Amino acid sequence: MQTETAWSDTEMEALQLAAQLILENGGETFRAEETVRRMGEGFGLNEVESFAVPSGLFISYRTEEGKLETSVRRVHKQGTNLTIVDQTNHISRAVAAGKLGASEAYIRLREVARLQQKRLGWSAVLAAGICAGGFAFLFQGTWLEALTALAVAAATQGACLLMGKVHESWILSDILGGFMTALLPVLAGRWIPGLNTEAVIAGALMPLVPGVAMTNAVQDTFRGDMVSGVSHGVSALLTAFMIAGGALLASAVLRILAGGGI
């Protein structure tokens, strides 16, 4: 009996962890629900149901003894890590194919969860620079604008990283990002003659774009999940507002520096 209970707990733990990893790392809610259903059926459970929203999930199923098991888990978004979402997806497919049991799947998921602790660190600075430099060309920039955007985005990402070590808050990070990407190119324009500051700012803003939230909003809405679709859409909009707020703050600072009022 004891073994049966432990076995049943492992199944629920595995289902919860899989859905939680997907939601915490930028996956869509339909994917979390599909994963629970697929894994639950792979474990041989009956009447597997799940309901996920970006901030939490409910799971229920009926055991072989006919007992209804239900769980609720609150989810706090950790950031975006599509590798974790992808690996969780692979594990769920292996379970569905009968290649993994509940205990093995749970152990594999715990290993995937450890990836969350690994941060991108300073390679994010380089990636942000390359991203901004590349996009500066699409905004009618030349090599001069691309290199300036690269430097501005790298400095912005570095500042956000340093701020994250003191106080981790995505709102502050977005405001700081918007502020620096609007301020630094204008200051650089005073030293570099002929610099197209508009192309630099637009390029440097690109690493801050909430691309995953936008994609998820479309994907969830397309699948008929309006609650999650709207939630992701509002999240993307809020990020855009924070960046715009930071940029407007930079405009005010520049006007003060130029001798004008706010």
Partner 1 sequence: MIEQALLYLAGAFFGTLGFAVLTRVPRRTLLAAGGIAAVVYMVYWLLSLAGLSEHTAVFFGTTVGSVLGHLCARKMRVINTVFLMSAIVPVVPGLGLYRMMDSLGRGQMAQGGAQGVQAMIIIAMTALGLIVGSLSDRTIHKRGRRKA
Q: List, edge to edge, every strand of the sheet that includes 46-53.
A: 46-53, 56-62, 68-74
Name the nearest CA neighbour of 50 among 40, 60, 63: 60
Q: Which of residues 219-238 bind partner 1 (CB under 8 A)?
A: 219, 222
89 binds partner 1 (CB under 8 A): yes
Of the candidate spans 2-10, 40-48, 50-58, 195-203, the one that interacts with partner 1 by CB under 8 A turns out to be 195-203
Pick from 96, 130, 155, 238: which binds partner 1 (CB under 8 A)? Answer: 130
Q: Does 123 bind partner 1 (CB under 8 A)?
A: yes
CB of 92 to partner 1, least distance (A): 11
CA–CA gap between residue 129 and residue 193 (Å, rounded): 22
131, 152, 183, 195: which one contacts partner 1 (CB under 8 A)?
A: 131
Question: In 115-210, which residue ranges form alpha helices assigned H by DSSP?
Answer: 123-138, 143-166, 170-191, 197-205
Alpha-carbon torsion 241, 243, 249, 251, what sign?
Answer: negative
User: Does 144 interact with partner 1 (rule: CB under 8 A)?
Assistant: no
Given the rule CB under 8 A, which of 11-19, 47-55, 64-72, 129-137 is the region that contacts partner 1?
A: 129-137
Q: How is 139-164 classified by DSSP, letter by letter?
A: TT--HHHHHHHHHHHHHHHHHHHHHH
Q: Does 43 bind partner 1 (CB under 8 A)?
A: no
160 torsion bin: left (phi>0), alpha (psi -120 to 50), beta (else): alpha
**Residue 82 in contact with partner 1, rule: CB under 8 A:** yes
Contacting positions for partner 1 (CB under 8 A): 26-28, 31, 80-86, 89-90, 120, 123-124, 127-139, 146, 182, 198-199, 201-203, 205-207, 209, 211-212, 214-219, 222, 240, 244, 247-248, 251-252
